[in-house]
């Protein structure tokens, strides 16, 4: 039942895994190596929730930044530009849950 993957990115690398894909929700895991960044982007039709599971990430939202340590939860409303960066020397892992599915 556990869908949590082992993510082991190198420095500067972002690795992802789709954990849940149904008709109405997508949950992806992101592993950010030291210095890696998930570029800011938006989902016009989906709410996006980050769950920081391991380490810490700098969450970027509409040009503002906030450091979020595990365990942490960050809500991004529909259409809000968001991203994440790992400024630490350790791997950071978080999930992003989107509902409804983008494009549905």
69 falls within a domain: yes
CATH number of the domain enclosing 61 = 2.60.120.10
Domain of residue 52 covers: 37-104
Question: Residue 104 pLDDT more than 70?
Answer: no
Q: How much is the mean pLDDT over the chain? A: 94
The reported pLDDT for the residue numbered 50 is: 97
8 falls within a domain: no
13 falls within a domain: no
59 falls within a domain: yes
Q: What is the pLDDT of residues 65-85, one digit of tens each?
A: 999 999 999 999 999 999 999
The total number of structural domains that make up the chain: 1
- Global model pTM greater than 0.85: yes
67 falls within a domain: yes
In this prediction, residues 41-52 reach a mean pLDDT of: 94
61 falls within a domain: yes
Please spell the DSSP secondary structure of the chain, one letter per residue: ---PPP--PPTT-EEEEEEEE-SS-EEEEEEE-TT-EEEEE--TT-EEEEEEEESEEEEEETTEEEEEESSEEEEE-TT--EEEE--SSS-EEEEEEEESPTT-
50 falls within a domain: yes
49 falls within a domain: yes
């Amino acid at each position: 039942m556990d869908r949590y993957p082992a993510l082991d990115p190198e420095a500067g690398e972002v690795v992802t895994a789709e954990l849940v894909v149904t008709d109405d929700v997508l949950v992806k895991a992101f592993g950010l190596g030291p210095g890696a960044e998930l570029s800011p982007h938006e989902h016009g039709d989906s709410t996006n929730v980050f769950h920081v599971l391991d380490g810490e990430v700098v969450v970027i939202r509409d040009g503002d930044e906030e450091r979020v340590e595990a365990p942490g939860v960050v809500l991004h409303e529909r259409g809000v530009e968001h991203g994440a960066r790992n400024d630490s020397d350790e791997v950071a892992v978080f999930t992003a849950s989107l509902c409804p599915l983008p494009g549905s």
